[in-house]
Structure 1
């Protein structure tokens, strides 16, 4: 029985290592580490309630609820109907390719939207400076240089939009196919 307990501890340790890695990775991409740990925990579980999540992660119920909502925004956690239970149950997306599609395309789409709106607003102001008759030459030249830079930024965001769309449609897998699962 002692050996079985030791294996159980090693199993939990292995899961904790991966959960920590997922939490750290999501933190790199702007998702709070505790929310990343929540997602990592859910990857190894079936359906979980907020109370079960709170118990496993020692976080408050409001924090759990906010974390689950954040993960639902990316469609990487979904609410699941459980017959006979009054509590809400949630399940994590376990396919990391679907996770990749949902998470990164939404992040990139947001980046594109924010920055393209900024570029358009800035271009309106810059164009007024460029077209003005009473502007000094140095200011006008700087406005032209910045306007040209912004045109280059638009090319980048068009490219990023194409990548995001290729991910959403699955076209990216024609160029970067999902590797075959390795036999164990």
Structure 2
């Protein structure tokens, strides 16, 4: 096997692994192949370049690059003399993950916290009702206990999001820790 073929095979293995796992970012495998292909380029690419390399339609490339950009995995680049839009893989994967994690989980925390707050208020109001049966009072108290557990969980999750956003997470899990096997 020629050296070029070995390089192509090694790259293709990584590109396929990215394609298989890109669903974690809510994207389809073709976007993963596009991202993987862009990763191995030393120059930013136009949509035409990507279309040629991947054999996919320009529309598909455009849709994927927009999705990759929204997740901050890909960014626009500039090159003197090039009038078409150029794109490259974002340099800081750690920050891309933090952004994705924070945006998705903060949305979840906000939604759940609002629902919990409203339900707790309604349950507290129910407990003030002197005609509430003992059976229903017990149900409400059990539900309140469950909602307080959920509230504690979402408070913890909010602190975790904060640890990601202010990068304290890297005090616990350093960005680079060399494996003794490599």
TM-score (norm 2): 0.81
Task: Kindly report which structure 2 residues correspond to 1:1-184, keeping only aligned pairs within 5 A, or say none.
Answer: 6-45=2-41, 46-180=43-177
How far the C-alpha of 1:27 sits from its partner, in A, is 1.0
Q: Give the conservation status (yes or no) of the 8 Å contact 1:76–1:103.
A: no
Following TM superposition, by how much is the alpha carbon of 1:47 offset from its aligned partner in structure 2, in angstroms?
Answer: 0.6
What is the aligned length? 180
Deviation at 1:125, TM superposition (A): 4.1
The RMSD of aligned alpha carbons is 2.6
1:39-80 deviation digits (Å, cap 9, x = unpaired): 222221231112222233333323322222222222221111
Structure 2: give runs of 5+ residues left out of the alignment: none
Structure 1, unmatched stretches of 5+, are: none
Give the whole-Å Cα distance in 1 for the aligned partners of 2:104 and 2:36. Answer: 19
